[in-house]
Structure 1
Amino acid sequence: MARIICGVDVSGQRLDGRIGPDGPAVSVERSAKGVEQLGGFCAEHGVELVVMEATGGLEKLPFGLLWAAGLACAVVNPRQVRRFAEAMGYLEKTDDIDAGVIAQFAQVKNLVGQVPATLNQERLRALVVRLRQLTDLKVVQTNQRRLLNDPDALASIDEITALIRHQIRGFETAIAELLGGDPVWRALDQAFREIKGVADRTVAHLMAQMPEIGTYSNKAIAKLAGLAPLARDSGRRSGQRSIYGGRSQVRSILFVVAAVVARHEPDFIAFRQRLLDAGKPKMAVRVALARKLLVRLNAKARDARRALVAA
């Protein structure tokens, strides 16, 4: 029996909901009051699941408030929904149509509710994102300084850089305290650091951007990070495998850390050399090392979680 699903198209000002592809619809403000009205609409029609696209963070308000009101919610990839709409023959694109397509997509995919992140998880994610922004900003200021000779301009750069460094230290301290205050994160931190080359920032990024680590299979976690080679075969043709999609921020940090680990861990050193001796392209070697590191981290996280449960 088909579930009653409400698709919601989220924009900066409005929330447009529709039950199924052509059922009852509602349009409300994207505000606490509007979400309350949307919740009442869903309760009136016996909605079991509310689904919305990821919209650059605009979906966080309705997602959190609807869950708090007891309505299960899920967030989906907008690219997948758009391709689904095209495959289903929806050539028009309006907020109302999009909401119905989202509901139909969720029905076909048999989606379930995604439990919202805890307050600590949200805080860790925010701290890690800001730390990365500050680090990038420091690099920009450092590069700009090399091109300057004027004393006033150099003094301005130095003043800004000093402030950035001060804030970076503050965020690093806050992140360390947050990780140390959670027993699961503390256990994962200790487990991850057993791998030479894995430092505090790696742990923070993984905890913030991939909280599922240690709960998924190695194949699933690699696909989640976009490090699983995807088949490109058709008939007698066997296409070259390539990676696609996934969490780019996790992938980028793994590329960097895997290169460091491959200089310290004996099995990584040997693995890298075997790939190079086999004539593998440098990018393929880079991806393989990152995937091997993620699988190792996932195994350590799984063991650490089991030990906590058994304790």
Structure 2
Amino acid sequence: MEIVVGIDVSKERLDVAILPQEEVFAVGNDHAGIDELAERLKGIGVDAIALEATGGFEMLAVAGLSAAGLTVLVVNPAQVRAYAHAIGRRAKTDPIDAAVIAAFVLATKPEIRPLRDAETQALSELVARRRQIVQMIVAEENRLRMALAKQAQKSIKRLLKALRRELESLDADLDSHIRKSPVWRVREALLTSVPGVGPTTARTLLAELPELGSLDRRQIASLAGLAPWTRQSGKWKGKSFIGGGRGKVRAVLFMAALVASRYNPDLKAFRDRLVAAGKPKIVATVATMRKLLTIL
């Protein structure tokens, strides 16, 4: 019989539910609490542990439990909520949420893919922080263009200087992190050998899409949110669209596809053929993103 653990994550604690035993308890969302949880779960031989993505509060638990050799899944909160409504679980408390997460995994049996280990998680956090710094720089540059008072302009320029220094420091940290792992060095070199793929795209893919290379083209496109969704009912057929998946991956692939459409001869010819055939430019770009991902 499968033993599945659902964990509801908050900033301070982890509410844990074990099914089918219906055991419920809580531990702290810190190193000590996660170590205690790992030892307890290893003792009962669980098959899978599931947590919702909660904006970063789950990261320490995912890294710690994975490092302990346990099978950890990070599930989509929207899917769990839809499952809860489907089975009539309207009540909402942390222990109930943990039990619903475990029941969701037992019912849907999601595919277990290789999880990011602690080193990969650290890389992911560095990439995410770099993205935040870039967004702050863009915001301050926009404010500088709008500022009229010299004092305001000076303040913005000082902050921009500090942010750019921080960006350089983060890039150095990323370089150091990549160099520490021979596997990542090889993978980064391989990814950046494709025209249109630079270090930022390569590192984002390494951090956010560790399954790259282990899935077929349809599976990896679906995981990245690049598989078109068909809308059809009876004789009516609406336009297909993309969505879901990993937004950070899709964002860097969009920029890479734009560059590749100019400098990668194969992808440029591919996109030009689609546009010549009457496809809208955005559709041709999405198809180029999917083609680029398949190549990678």
TM-score (norm 1): 0.84
Cα distance change, pair 17–112 in 1 and its aligned pair in 2 (3 A): farther
Asked if the contact 1:26/1:38 (under 8 Å) is kept, the reply is no
1:159-197 CA-to-partner distances (Å, cap 9, x unmatched) read 222222222222222322332343222222332233322
Unaligned runs of 5+ in 2: none
Q: Counterparts of 2:223 and 2:27 in 1: how far apart (Å)?
A: 34
Cα separation, 2, equivalents of 1:39 and 1:158: 48
Tell me if 1:106 matches 2:96.
no
Correspondence for 2:246: 247
For the residues of structure 2 that align with 1:102 and 1:283, how far apart are their CA atoms? 37
Question: Please, which moves more after superposition, 145-154 or 38-47?
Answer: 38-47
Deviation at 1:154, TM superposition (A): 2.3
Q: Distance in 1 between matches of 2:66 and 2:180?
A: 26
**Structure 1 residue 112: Cα displacement:** 6.8
Q: Does 1:229 align with 2:228?
A: yes
Amino acid paired to 1:186 = R
Deviation digits for residues 21-40 of structure 1 (CA, Å, limit 9, x no counterpart): 78222234434444455456
Unaligned runs of at least 5 residues, structure 1: 298-311
Matching residue of 1:305:
none
Q: How does 1:139-154 map to 2 (within 5 A)?
A: 139-154=138-153
Q: How many residues align?
A: 296
Deviation at 1:236, TM superposition (A): 4.2
The structural deviation recorded for 1:8 is: 1.8
| Structure 2 CA distance for aligned equivalents of residues 178 and 17 of structure 1 | 33
For 1:204 and 1:122, locate their aligned partners in 2 and report how far apart those are by CA, in whole Å. Answer: 12
Name the CA shift for 1:99/1:181 in 2 (closer, same or farther; >3 Å): closer
Q: State whether structure 2 residue 167 is matched by structure 1 residue 168.
A: yes
* 8 Å CA contact 2:209, 2:249 repeated in 1: yes
Match in the other structure for 1:186: 185
Distance 1:41 1:199 in 2: 44
Distance 1:118 1:46, change over 3 A: closer
Shift of 1:122: 2.3
Distance between the aligned counterparts of 2:224 and 2:24, measured in 1?
Answer: 36
TM-score using structure 2 length: 0.88
How far residue 222 of structure 1 moved from its aligned partner, in angstroms, is 0.9
> Would the aligned equivalents of 2:221 and 2:227 in 1 still touch at CA under 8 Å?
yes
Q: Which amino acid aligns with 2:146?
A: L
CA 1:249 to 1:71, structure 2 compared with 1: closer, same or farther past 3 Å?
closer
Tell me the SS of whatever aligns to 2:83: helix
Indicate if the aligned counterparts of 2:9 and 2:58 stay in contact, CA closer than 8 A: yes
